[in-house]
Structure 1
């Protein structure tokens, strides 16, 4: 039975919350959503983890949960798919007395299933998939304290494990605010390139046309990375398997705050430039939900706007494509862009029967 979570990770009555979870586990009547939510609760805060383990040590009678072993193992195998508007359920725990602590033993088996039996290394947690549809952005807090914000039509796989924090940008663009942890490097893979940072903030954009890395804070190291082999995946996203480590480490280069790297997929040429503060701000304006253009050729503006709408936008003539354009537009409101073209720039916007948008000069 699903309940809403009214308690924060720092709730003062953590003992009661943990005990209530044990009571629910002991009943054996948990849905898949309940099992996923219990796992999320344990991993949400180090205090939750510590309290579950402390209560487990109060008793060695773990056989009461023997019947739950298979369902919990099956739940652990399931990949967590994180989509807009669909996150792991959270729940509030009813306040129970200490008499319920006789149920504390029920967490021992559950803990063993998540962490593995003594003497055996725990398995790496299942990867998390983050997806955004066309025209939408979203921000997600990761378990290490880092944050990732996805731009339109993007998909990433988060695969954290002991000693490493790997993120695979399968397509689109994402901005990363990385929590400092020198013991676990934070590496973003995009195609055959990787970007590694410790305590910094940067964006990575990977499309069929280019790879772009923009650093807003700190420093990152980038270089070549082994390709990964694609195969069937979780529903709604393509799974990419981890690549084998290269026999020799690839040469690494450094990017500092305010620098941008562009890599052409055609000739592998790398261009590194330092961006003025106002340009950097416009480059990353999408994080705040806006697109900011200043004196940009219309072809470039349309190319960027195309990422935020499923409608194909076609510029009819080359002269119009060279038109210099400027303006600030909220993501998801592309109609304002076309209205600005018509009212201020003398551009005719025509929608065809097959749902294309044709831009042409009025004259």
Structure 2
């Protein structure tokens, strides 16, 4: 009977993993370290569950402690993933907390995950300046940015989402029997085992950033069933089947920009590019040489304040810096300090900007 622990269900292993991750985050005693090592040695399922949750948690204390306790656990796969999580510590920590709470509460209440997967529909939305994270019935984690609207419809054979406005990050639970597709404007983004970000600017202007796995871009009329889904997972942009449906495969570390319904050439991103594009997931905005007019348009997504610039020369000034999303006062102070740009408020929601030398 000494080996009964090896036959724990997946749910119980996840529950125990949540407990261990939480304990590691607060700090393990010497006795707890030994108990944890023994528990990890009992099963590869224990090890996989811990490292999967650690990647979601992404708290430096957890990752450092695991590295100290198991220095040999440094596979090429994890090295490849490591950079993907560096930009989202705060967001991932919150998401992992939600996953653990979700698992523990529903296990306690006898939650039936299979029933929840079928005929599940719900609308999620955020206000201007608001960001929220949700866990869907299949374990998919969705983080919505400011002023976003997402409709979710799960059925027995398909997971279909509609991003009517805004931006979302999707950490997709793997399910080879049910494709996961996000429709935005006149494009559809089908997950092939992934973490990806979709920003909808207009119905024909979209941006996709993939940080793990693959995403396939198609027209919404292209239906992807389970059999196709398996084939597409192994495909790339040169595959005949992909070319036949005019699709594009975007892989980890790449970005696709759709302008006027046309997918531009896919670009490879550096870590800095990813951090800038996805800084909103930590409630921040990062600029690195953007024109002031473009930077202010981005800031305006997070606040009711609108900006008026006194000249084209002012609009073309290139700016750089890290700002808290929605922090208009901090931005105005930075512009004054670094560029001698003064501001004047015209009513509650309009700010005019000009150089102090302008009359």
Compute the TM-score of the two structures, normalised by the length of structure 2.
Answer: 0.60
Distance 1:290 1:179, change over 3 A: same
For residues 311-358 of structure 1, give each alpha carbon's deviation from its aligned partner in whole angstroms, at most 9, with x where no partner exists.
211222111111111111122322211111112211111110363111
Which residue number in structure 2 is paired with residue 280 of structure 1? 274
Count of residue pairs the alignment pairs up: 238
Whether contact under 8 Å (1:139, 1:149) holds in the other structure is yes
Which residue number in structure 2 is paired with residue 263 of structure 1? 258
Unaligned runs of 5+ in 2: 1-10, 17-101, 223-243
Whether contact under 8 Å (1:192, 1:226) holds in the other structure is no
Q: Which runs of 4+ in 1 moved over 6 A?
A: 9-12
Distance 1:296 1:213, change over 3 A: same
Which residue number in structure 1 is paired with residue 99 of structure 2? none
Distance 1:325 1:221, change over 3 A: same
CA offset at residue 202 of structure 1? 0.6
CA offset at residue 251 of structure 1? 3.0
Which residue number in structure 2 is paired with residue 48 of structure 1? 110
Which residue number in structure 2 is paired with residue 203 of structure 1? 197
CA offset at residue 199 of structure 1? 2.2
Which residue number in structure 2 is paired with residue 140 of structure 1? 134
Compute the TM-score of the two structures, normalised by the length of structure 1.
Answer: 0.60
Cα RMSD (Å): 3.0
Which residue number in structure 2 is paired with residue 219 of structure 1? 214
Q: Which of the pair is proportionally richer in helix?
A: 2
CA distance in 2, matches of 1:178, 1:145: 8
Which residue number in structure 1 is paired with residue 306 of structure 2? 312
Unaligned runs of 5+ in 1: 1-8, 13-39, 52-113, 116-121, 228-248
Which residue number in structure 1 is paired with residue 349 of structure 2? 355
CA distance in 2, matches of 1:281, 1:314: 28
CA distance in 1, matches of 2:292, 2:326: 19
CA distance in 2, matches of 1:344, 1:211: 32
Match for 1:253 among 242, 245, 248? 248
For residues 141-184 of structure 1, give each alpha carbon's deviation from its aligned partner in whole angstroms, at most 9, with x where no partner exists.
11111101001111101111111111110000001111111111
Whether contact under 8 Å (2:160, 2:182) holds in the other structure is yes
Which residue number in structure 2 is paired with residue 182 of structure 1? 176
Q: Please say which structure displays the higher CA radius of gyration.
A: 1
CA offset at residue 44 of structure 1? 4.0
CA distance in 2, matches of 1:225, 1:355: 38
CA distance in 2, matches of 1:147, 1:135: 20
3-state SS of paired residue (1:335): helix
1:169 matches 2:157: no
Whether contact under 8 Å (1:155, 1:172) holds in the other structure is yes
3-state SS of paired residue (2:286): strand
CA distance in 2, matches of 1:123, 1:145: 10
CA distance in 2, matches of 1:281, 1:171: 22
- The correspondence of residues 315-334 of structure 1 with structure 2, limited to 5 A, is 315-334=309-328
Whether contact under 8 Å (1:44, 1:143) holds in the other structure is no
